[in-house]
Structure 1
Amino acid sequence: MQRVVKFFHEVAREMKRVSWPKRKELVNYTLTVLATVAFMTVFFAVVDLGISSLIRFVLE
């Protein structure tokens, strides 16, 4: 039991040392991730559509 208490005490101490991002930084990071995911989604959808069209053209 003492090991568990020590573990959580050390976790709490380490969490105080963490450098948390400011709100503006967090918003910028979140928007960057969302924009990247949206771009990649569109990119792969276009590539998939192109490959599907190419395969249909070859098979017909």
Structure 2
Amino acid sequence: MANNKNFLQNVVSEMKKVSWPTGQETVRYTTVVMLTVIFFLAFFYALDLGISAIIDLM
């Protein structure tokens, strides 16, 4: 039981050292991720349409 208590104390100690992002940083990072996902979604959709069109011509 003492081992578990020591472990939890170490976890709390390490979590206090973590540099958490601010709310504004979190919104900025989320926006960048969403825009990147939308860009690649559109890119691969267009690529798929192009390849499908080429295959239909054959």
Distance (whole Å) between structure 2 residues aligned to residue 30 and residue 2 of structure 1: 40
Distance (whole Å) between structure 2 residues aligned to residue 52 and residue 43 of structure 1: 14
- Aligned amino acid, residue 50 of structure 1: G
The residue number in structure 2 matching 1:55 is 55
Give the superposed CA RMSD.
1.1
Which consecutive aligned stretches of 4+ in structure 1 deviate over 4 angstroms post-superposition?
none
Distance (whole Å) between structure 1 residues aligned to residue 3 and residue 54 of structure 2: 62
- Aligned amino acid, residue 23 of structure 2: R
- Identity across the alignment (%): 45
The residue number in structure 2 matching 1:16 is 16
Superposition pairs of residues 2-41 of structure 1, within 5 angstroms: 2-41=2-41
